[in-house]
């Protein structure tokens, strides 16, 4: 897509725009310590961050979602996360350069995430990023990704048609949402990928395992 036809670049949040894994690592290890469990392999925690709080409780405590204690443990994990939110998270390498390049071309940007607004909004405010022109969270939609509703709301905010936008994400649901919305999609293979997953199988239009290459990829797509 030429810069002249591109009106917006949309990002997933955790694992695509921002690296939040170190914060979740602290939280999972603390949750395990509260249950007298030893620390978990950091790499294993990192790979699951994009799957959210429920997945991290399952991973960290080995609890089934049907367990009667599961919801209280999920809420405890979120309490711990609120205490460290934005403390060590940072934009991926090359993201600020990409946003500056988008601004230079008059191209807007936004975020479509399954992270609740109570966490997504303060996170974006506390890290080294320009103000986000369009943030869409699960609180704002009836159907979460992989449904494309959140991406349609981004397009409404940014006054562009879906075919004039690119969506970048580090999970199959992101690529599915982008495809269903009619957008060009980029798989962020540098993000949080589960051991049994393969971004090459997601059907994205483009793929990169290095966030530094996003600008070149977008402007040469």
**Cα separation of 105 and 75, whole Å?**
43
Determine whether 14 is an active site residue.
yes
Determine whether 12 is an active site residue.
yes
CA dihedral 132, 133, 139, 140 (to 10 degrees): -170
**Cα separation of 94 and 163, whole Å?**
25
| H-assigned helices in the chain | 21-34, 42-48, 52-61, 70-84, 95-104, 117-126, 149-158, 172-181, 214-219
- For residue 188, give the nearest of 6, 32, 10 by alpha carbon: 10
**Cα separation of 209 and 196, whole Å?**
17
- For residue 146, give the nearest of 187, 113, 176, 188 by alpha carbon: 176
Strands 18-19 and 135-136 turn out to be unpaired
**Cα separation of 138 and 27, whole Å?**
22
Residue from 14, 19, 170, 174 carrying the catalytic annotation: 14
Residue from 12, 19, 170, 174 carrying the catalytic annotation: 12
Active site amino acids: 12, 14
């Amino acid at each position: 897509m030429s810069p002249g036809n591109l009106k917006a670049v949309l990002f997933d949040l955790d694992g695509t725009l921002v690296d939040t894994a170190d914060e979740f690592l602290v939280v999972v290890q603390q949750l395990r310590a509260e249950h007298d469990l030893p620390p978990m392999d950091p790499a294993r925690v990192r790979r699951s961050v994009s799957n959210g709080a429920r997945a991290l409780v399952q991973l960290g405590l080995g609890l089934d979602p049907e367990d009667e204690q599961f919801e209280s443990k999920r809420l405890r994990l979120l309490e711990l996360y609120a205490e460290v939110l934005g403390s060590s998270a940072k934009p991926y390498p090359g993201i600020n350069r990409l946003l500056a390049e988008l601004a230079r071309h008059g191209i807007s940007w936004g975020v479509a995430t399954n992270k609740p607004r109570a966490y997504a909004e303060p996170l974006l405010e506390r890290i080294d990023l320009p103000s986000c022109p369009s943030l869409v969270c699960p609180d704002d939609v009836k159907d979460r990704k992989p449904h494309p509703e959140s991406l349609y709301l981004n397009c409404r905010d940014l006054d562009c048609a879906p075919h004039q936008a690119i969506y970048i994400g580090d999970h199959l649901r992101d690529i599915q949402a982008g495809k269903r919305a009619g957008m060009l999609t980029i798989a962020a293979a540098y993000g949080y990928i589960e051991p049994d997953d393969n971004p090459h199988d997601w059907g994205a239009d483009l793929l990169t395992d290095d966030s530094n290459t996003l600008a070149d990829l977008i402007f040469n797509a």
